Structure 1
């Protein structure tokens, strides 16, 4: 039985944004060993990108110039990958995952680390130490 995935890739309501589901899916996409889950995972990642694009765009006015330029680049790349996904859904899994990881990071941390308040810095430091949203170490 195939589970229907919501717009955020999970079993949640379509308007509920779930960063943890995005993170799980992009990590799976970056580490996909075979094509068995590629089609399902690519579709979920494309859905995440469609959700993240307007969210990152909404945060861009508060970003500094460097982060705004980075966001523009990542948003452009995400749009390109979504176009490619329509033509070659299975072969785009890794690239969709890279874009999802970048956009999720920009969404969660729209300001440089030095501009974060103390609680936000502690949260970001904790994520870095534990392999948080930016990467997962391979053995």
Structure 2
């Protein structure tokens, strides 16, 4: 089965809207005395990432089309570029950008397999002609 791919035109995520936290894969046990104990509940944990986009009307329509049609209203997994590294320059040990033979910088790239978050995306008006879309995804292990 192939999964839909995040729209290329929706990759300018807000830095301020970024927040990530791992899923808690521990099982807690309360001891009779002393601190609680923990052990592994499961070995593969997902990571929740909160994201925000500011888009014009066309970007808003593309986002909702992707969510509603391509991802079955948020019920289907999808591929998304990792916003924390995508399109950043690859550097050598001295911090100098690595280049191809024709002088083009090499860029980092990583894809996540994601599931939409627990709550549906939220939109709000930003300025006169833009919209802020906030949502969370679960990055699968």
**TM-score category by the smaller chain?**
under 0.3
TM-score scaled by length of structure 1: 0.23
The structure with the largest strand share of the pair is: 2
TM-score scaled by length of structure 2: 0.22
The structure with the largest helix share of the pair is: 1
